[in-house]
Chains A and B, each alone.
Chain A
Amino acid sequence: MTTSNQSEDVQSGIHIRDLNAGFGDNQVLKNISLDIPPQSVTAVIGPSGCGKSTMVRCLNRMHELVGSAWVNGSVKLGEDDIYGSNVDPVLLRRTVGMVFQKPNPFPHLSIRDNVLSGLKLTGRLVASKADEIVERALVDAALWDEVKDRLDDAGRGLSGGQQQRLCIARSLAVSPDVLLMDEPCSALDPIATAKIEDLIRQLKERYAIVIVTHNMQQAARASDMTAFLLMGELVEFTSTSRLFTQPDDQRTEDYITGKFG
């Protein structure tokens, strides 16, 4: 499939400027500014609690779903600030997809219905297109061959890696421009992880992908650009090969060579 899934806006990537965010009195992100390029994979690494998940959740405005959460700054997808005054976060989330750490397919739905759930939930499913959508999404998520004969089986009967790919298919079925992945392989074994990393490599031709990971080797393997966050600050953001062979900042060097006590 070569049709571009990116609206023209997003061709220039995601531009984050002076992003601050936190929960109540606790500030988690401090003045983050970076430009995430389109059609590539950007990894976000850093020690626990550095704010990487928060940052990614600010990109689809899920951070603010928690009661005490606050955020200010600007995040532009292309030309438009997603924190603009007349932006509906619900509609935004239909263009910025998210895959979570623990695979979470809907247990009461079949594989088929899981893939379609994004459209069904939001009342946008055109019944005549359903089969086509299901097949395309599962093919794109590298799961079609494994499940094409049992689309009506329950979503929860799959292995961990398959479930995660099902969740990816579910996100792809709504045709987002950006795909956010919050530690997508943490709960998976090495083979499943490798399959998903390979999938990410294929997907990046059409989507801007941001992947949060605490596994540095995964960031090194799977991404084009890497951002290193430490205690809410962006310490370094550069090409992956440079960050892991010759980082500019001493703190980056210390983190990736394991000098953090």
Chain B
Amino acid sequence: MSNQGRIDRYTDQGYATELLEIRERLLLMAGRVEHMIGEAIASIVNRDTERAELGVDLDRQVNQDELDLDALCLELLACRQPMASDLRFVVFTLKMVTDLERIADLAVNIMERAKDLNRKPALTEYIIIPRMGDLVREMVRNAIDAFIQKDIDLAFAVIEKDDEVDDLYRDLFRQVLNVMREDSKHVHRGIHVQSVAKFLERIGDHSTNLAEQAIFMIGGDDVRHEGKLGDIRSKGNPGDTEEITL
């Protein structure tokens, strides 16, 4: 992309190479995390316990990615004293790595739940969960892309998607509540299903963080935390209190 042109313009190509390496690693890590989300959803929807068990290995790789990227970024900060957009790039890479690693942990949590759920017959047909899974995967992918390609509109689009994820979560919550009310034998599985959805909703929140960080990095204003303040301001309706924050 246009980034390649800018990379070539660095006078010190050694420095350019180091920046490139961080970028590549970040993309790799994001790809792995995205893949983990996919595997987590599949292990639920396809009732595939084997895939759930592979999750631990994937997570180990992602943790290693975090360590490697932290080290690379620290070294670049110390040795190169980056300025302006390079500085923002490195600092926000560090922050994004944290969020990515948290997303990976949540994916592992989903896979744990999958193992439990798959021992019993399916509770309902999974419609909302795969939908949420697709959404948050896209959000993660787009947030990272927005960061790397400095596409501010893409980043804003990710933030907006989060509302959809929250809505889906609320729908699922109501559904599961109803199912659990029908029969107390459903409660055990119901709680797991609700947890899975909650984890996905959390992944959505972390993806929103990724997008906000991308926006600040690109040079827009600091939009972090604005969303929550905005929510409180605009959604003052007291009726919608089915949402129980865990």
Contact = CB atoms under 8 A, between A and B. Distances in A.
Does B associate with A? Answer: yes
B84 A246 contact: yes
A245 B12 contact: no
B47 interface: no
B237 interface: no
B9 A245 contact: no
B156 interface: no
B6 A259 contact: yes
A259 B84 contact: no
Interface in B81-132: 81-88
Contacts of A257: 10, 82-86
Query: 5 closest A-B pairs (Cβ-Cβ)?
Result: A259-B9, A256-B83, A244-B83, A257-B86, A253-B84
A140 B240 CA distance: 67
Interface in B1-17: 6, 9-12, 15
B227 interface: no
A258 B12 contact: yes
Interface of B: 6, 9-12, 15, 81-88, 219
Nearest to A254: B9
Interface of A: 216-217, 220, 244-247, 252-254, 256-261
A260 B87 contact: no
30 contacts: A216-B83, A217-B81, A220-B81, A220-B83, A244-B83, A244-B84, A244-B87, A245-B83, A245-B84, A245-B87, A245-B88, A246-B84, A246-B88, A247-B84, A252-B84, A253-B85, A254-B9, A256-B84, A257-B10, A257-B82, A257-B83, A257-B85, A257-B86, A258-B11, A258-B12, A259-B9, A259-B10, A259-B11, A260-B11, A261-B11
Contacts of B10: 257-259
B94 to A, nearest CB: 15
Contacts of B82: 257
A138 to B, nearest CB: 33
Contacts of A216: 83
Nearest to B6: A259
For A247, A256, A257, the residue with the greatest tally of chain B CB atoms inside 10 Å of its CB is: A257
Nearest to B19: A257
Main secondary structure of the interface of A (DSSP, over half): helix
Contacts of B219: 246
A220 B15 CA distance: 20
A261 B13 CA distance: 11
A203 B84 CA distance: 28
A23 to B, nearest CB: 28
Nearest to B16: A258
Nearest to A261: B11
Contacts of A260: 11
Nearest to A246: B219
A146 to B, nearest CB: 30
For B12, B15, B86, B88, the residue with the greatest tally of chain A CB atoms inside 10 Å of its CB is: B86
Contacts of B6: 259
A258 B87 contact: no
A179 to B, nearest CB: 26
B33 to A, nearest CB: 28
Contacts of A259: 6, 9-11
Contacts of B15: 258
A246 B216 CA distance: 10
B207 to A, nearest CB: 24
Contacts of A258: 10-12, 15
Given A252-B84, A259-B10, A259-B11, 7 more contacts: A216-B83, A245-B87, A245-B88, A246-B219, A247-B84, A253-B84, A260-B11
A259 B12 CA distance: 8
B90 to A, nearest CB: 11
A162 to B, nearest CB: 27
Contacts of B9: 254, 259, 261
A220 B84 CA distance: 11
B6 to A, nearest CB: 7
A253 B10 CA distance: 12
